[in-house]
């Protein structure tokens, strides 16, 4: 199944405008679904959902997009376009970990880390990056191990710790990259004071083929976390997930049936495929 796990960005009526903006900047990108509620698009071939969920939640830097570029010129080009109407979080400059790196917030509220790779054979890629701050600081490694134990086809590809000389942060995760069902995600512990942590502004969608998969992911990810409505949950680290049936899009595409399907799932916490199909 293609892209069984993908990020969802919460917007207040601006999902289409944001998707158009991002697809005009990131190569190999296009909008694949455009409805008033949901806009799905691919950034460099990787699926992203834009949700017009209203004013209840806002995107914050706890989950950003990490873009690794093939050259310094490519970093500059993407940075100069994404920063239009946005703001700088970390100035674009040379850092220990990259010859060209910067962190920005775009005009729609999404944050981006743009960096040049350190090797000549670096390939362009874009992945979600989780920052563990506040009460979650120091839990990045536990989270990576937890997530890779839950999902099949998972691996920890890189795990770098702060050195022992850094007394305040020694042993915390400086950077890690892992795969869940072959989807790459990065994670870091974020030292210092931050006025944000994980919330519904950026969540992860898990597309499930059957009820057995929905039950499995729901049970695993709610351990120590909390259930919400309409397939949403928070795990024990505060990260939001949507556990949804892959067939939901098909059920919603029938204009006569869609209102009954919506009415059915609005009453659900965990999705019940049989009840949706019977609606």
Does pLDDT of 162 surpass 80? yes
Reported residue count of the chain is 279
> Which position has the token pair 């209102």?
259
Rounded CA separation 214/207 (Å): 8
Report the mean per-residue pLDDT for the chain: 94
pLDDT attached to residue 261: 85
Q: What is the pLDDT of residues 122-134, one digit of tens each?
A: 899 999 999 999 9
Instruction: Give residues with Cβ within 8 angstroms of 57, minimum separation 6.
Output: 10, 199, 200, 201
As given in the structure block, the two tokens for residue 139 are: 């839990």
- Asked if 66 contacts 113 with a C-beta cutoff of 8 angstroms, the reply is yes
112 versus 264: the higher-pLDDT residue is 112
Does pLDDT of 254 surpass 90? no
Q: How confident is the model at residue 257 (pLDDT cuts 50, 70, 90)?
A: confident
Mean pLDDT score, 150-166: 94
pLDDT attached to residue 121: 78
Mean pLDDT score, 252-275: 86
Q: How confident is the model at residue 203 (pLDDT cuts 50, 70, 90)?
A: very high
Does pLDDT of 120 surpass 80? no
> pLDDT exceeding 70 applies to what percent of the chain?
99
- Asked if 98 contacts 113 with a C-beta cutoff of 8 angstroms, the reply is no
Q: What is the pLDDT of residues 26-75, one digit of tens each?
A: 999 999 999 888 999 999 999 999 999 999 999 999 999 999 999 999 99
Taking phi over 0 as left and psi of -120 to 50 as alpha, with beta for the rest, 181 belongs to left
164 versus 252: the higher-pLDDT residue is 164
Does pLDDT of 11 surpass 60? yes
Give the bridge partners for 103, in sequence order. 90, 113
pLDDT attached to residue 264: 87
| Total-model pTM | 0.95
Rounded CA separation 16/13 (Å): 8
- Asked if 173 contacts 237 with a C-beta cutoff of 8 angstroms, the reply is no
Does pLDDT of 1 surpass 60? no
Does pLDDT of 263 surpass 90? no
Rounded CA separation 228/266 (Å): 11
Q: What is the pLDDT of residues 165-180, one digit of tens each?
A: 998 899 999 999 999 9
pLDDT attached to residue 93: 97
Rounded CA separation 137/132 (Å): 5
Rounded CA separation 190/136 (Å): 9
CA-derived radius of gyration, the chain: 19
pLDDT attached to residue 3: 65
Q: How confident is the model at residue 2 (pLDDT cuts 50, 70, 90)?
A: low
Q: All domains of the chain, ordered by start, with CATH?
A: 5-189 (3.10.180.10), 209-278 (3.10.180.10)
- Asked if 65 contacts 25 with a C-beta cutoff of 8 angstroms, the reply is no
Q: What is the pLDDT of residues 62-92, one digit of tens each?
A: 999 999 999 999 999 999 999 999 999 999 9
Cα–Cα distances in angstroms (integers) from residue 125 to residues 4, 34, 38, 51, 174, in the given order: 18, 24, 24, 23, 20
Q: What is the pLDDT of residues 185-200, one digit of tens each?
A: 999 999 989 999 999 9
pLDDT attached to residue 108: 98
Rounded CA separation 219/225 (Å): 10
Burial bucket for residue 56 (CB in 10 Å: 0-12, 13-18, 19+): exposed
């Amino acid at each position: 199944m293609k892209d069984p796990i993908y990020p969802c960005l919460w917007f207040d009526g601006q999902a289409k405008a944001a998707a158009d903006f991002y697809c005009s900047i990131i190569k190999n990108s296009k909008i694949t679904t455009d409805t008033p509620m949901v806009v799905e698009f691919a950034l460099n071939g990787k699926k992203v959902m834009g949700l017009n969920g209203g004013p209840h939640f806002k995107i914050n830097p706890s989950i950003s997009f990490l873009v690794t570029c093939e050259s310094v010129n490519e970093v500059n080009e993407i940075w100069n376009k994404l920063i239009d109407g946005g703001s700088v979080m970390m100035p674009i400059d040379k850092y220990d970990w990259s010859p060209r790196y910067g962190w920005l917030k775009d005009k729609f509220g999404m944050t981006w880390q743009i960096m040049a790779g350190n090797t000549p054979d670096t390939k362009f890629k874009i992945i979600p990056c989780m920052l563990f701050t506040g009460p979650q600081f120091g839990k990045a490694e536990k989270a990576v191990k937890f997530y890779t134990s839950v999902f099949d086809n998972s691996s920890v590809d890189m795990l770098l710790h702060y050195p022992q000389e850094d007394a305040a942060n020694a042993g915390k995760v400086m950077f890690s990259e892992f795969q869940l069902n072959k989807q790459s995600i990065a994670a870091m512990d974020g030292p210092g004071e931050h006025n944000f942590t994980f919330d519904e502004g950026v969540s992860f969608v898990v597309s499930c083929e059957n009820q057995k998969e929905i039950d499995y992911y729901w049970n695993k990810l709610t351990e120590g976390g909390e259930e919400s409505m309409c397939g949403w949950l928070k795990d024990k680290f505060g990260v939001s997930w949507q556990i949804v049936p892959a067939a939901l899009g098909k059920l919603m595409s029938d204009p006569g049936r869609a209102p009954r399907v919506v009415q059915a799932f609005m009453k659900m916490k965990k999705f019940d495929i049989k009840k949706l199909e019977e609606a």
